[in-house]
Amino acid sequence: MASKELINEYLQWRAFRRQSQLDSEFRAARKKLDDARISATRMTEAYRSMADKGAEQGACYRTLYQRDHDGVTVTCEGWLFVRRVLAEGGTTRVRATLLETFRLENGQQEPGKTAAEKVTLEIYDQLLTSQNMALVVRVDRTDGDRQTNFLTFADQVRGDLRPHLA
């Protein structure tokens, strides 16, 4: 086997292994969030706090989200800089900038390796009929067609990404 081919297979294996880790982490975090019965109101407060810290300290928060690839949903990873939270007409929207750090087809990448993407997220309560009519919070992208179910970790923050946000 040629050395280049071997390295390519290794990099592909690493990407699939990381994908599996992120999928498991996403499922566990989603279950924890659903079990805690966090409401959209409480989630909005968390995003407002992230926006305040973003404005003051340049804080970016680790986020996991799902992306649809031809009918298959895979978990992606990035850093989210929350610019502002808008509540208008019963809808809560979050304006943010996303620095993607993992997508299956690209593998793991350092922040800033791909262009920062401005995103608009919507926070809302969703009724799950599969769980005895449970009400759970969802955060989905409204201005993109394939990214949904954002889980942003308020305890995983970094302040050194501002140069990559432009």
Give the H or E element holding residue 52.
Answer: helix 40-57
**Domains of the chain by residue range:** 3-155
pLDDT digits (tens, 9 = 90+) for 33-54: 999 989 999 999 999 999 999 9
Measured distance CA(59)–CA(116) in Å, rounded: 15
Dig out the tokens for 142 from the structure: 């409204």
pLDDT digits (tens, 9 = 90+) for 17-29: 999 999 999 999 9
> pLDDT at position 1, please?
58
Residue 105 exposure: Cα atoms within 13 Å on the Cβ side: 5
Cβ proximity of 24 and 64 under 8 Å: no
The pTM of the full predicted model, rounded to 2 decimals, is 0.91
